[in-house]
Structure 1
Amino acid sequence: MCYVCPVCGFEGLPEPAYNEYNEASFEICSCCFFQFGVDDDAEIKNDAYMEREDTHKLYRKQWIDDGAKLMSSFGYPASRQTNGKVKPEALTKQLKNINVLL
């Protein structure tokens, strides 16, 4: 079973990003590069951290603004990529998995 990345909407995580205790899996999404438990610990200032959902939104925006580059072309369906990036129509579809519209 594959799980949906809460950052990019890709249905390819081998385990949930966060477990039932809200602990991060430390998995890296093969689509957007996000590593749960590492990239979601964004420090704003000394011992003040962004909320997890806000971190996801910020990372998602930067990833899309950078062209939705793939971490690995091997871990993502060939029919949904071009030149190392997610095809626009595939991106629109997968973002719907997390209720995000472009």
Structure 2
Amino acid sequence: MTYICPICGFDGLDEPAYNEFHDPSFEICLCCQFQFGDDDDVELENGLFMKREETHAMYRQAWIAKGAPIFMPKYYPQQFQSNGAVMKEHLIEQLKNIRLFKAK
């Protein structure tokens, strides 16, 4: 069984990004390179942290702006890659997994 990355929608995590208590897995997504429990721990100022959903959106936007590079291409389906990045057509399908696009 695999789990969906809440950042990029890749269905390839070995465990859920967060458990039932909202604790992070510390797993790194093989697609977008987000590490749950590290990259989502953004301090804005002394003791004030960014909300997890805001961090996810910010990271996702930056990752897509860079061209959606694949962190570990060896473990990502070759048919959905182009020059080390997620093909645009597949990226749209992948983002449907996290409801950023409506499924047809």
Same fold (TM over 0.5): yes
CA drift at 1:45: 1.1
User: Normalized against structure 1, the TM-score is what?
Assistant: 0.97
CA drift at 1:99: 0.8
Counterpart in the other structure of 1:56: 56
- Structure 2 unaligned spans of 5+: none
Counterpart in the other structure of 1:41: 41
Check if 1:84 corresponds to 2:84: yes
The correspondence of residues 1-102 of structure 1 with structure 2, limited to 5 A, is 1-101=1-101
Q: 2: distance between equivalents of 1:94 and 1:12?
A: 11
Q: 1: distance between equivalents of 2:67 and 2:43?
A: 25
Q: 1: distance between equivalents of 2:75 and 2:67?
A: 18
Q: 2: distance between equivalents of 1:47 and 1:69?
A: 32
Q: CA RMSD in A?
A: 0.6
Q: Secondary structure at the match of 1:9?
A: coil
User: Normalized against structure 2, the TM-score is what?
Assistant: 0.95
Q: Secondary structure at the match of 1:44?
A: strand
Q: Which residue identity does 1:91 align to in structure 2?
A: L
- Structure 1 unaligned spans of 5+: none
* Structure 1 residues 26-69: Cα deviation after superposition (integer angstroms, max 9, x where no partner): 00000000000000001111111000000000000000000000
Once superposed, which parts of structure 1, at least 4 consecutive aligned residues long, lie more than 3 Å away?
none
Q: Secondary structure at the match of 1:89?
A: helix
Aligned length: 101
Q: 2: distance between equivalents of 1:63 and 1:16?
A: 21
Q: Secondary structure at the match of 2:73?
A: coil
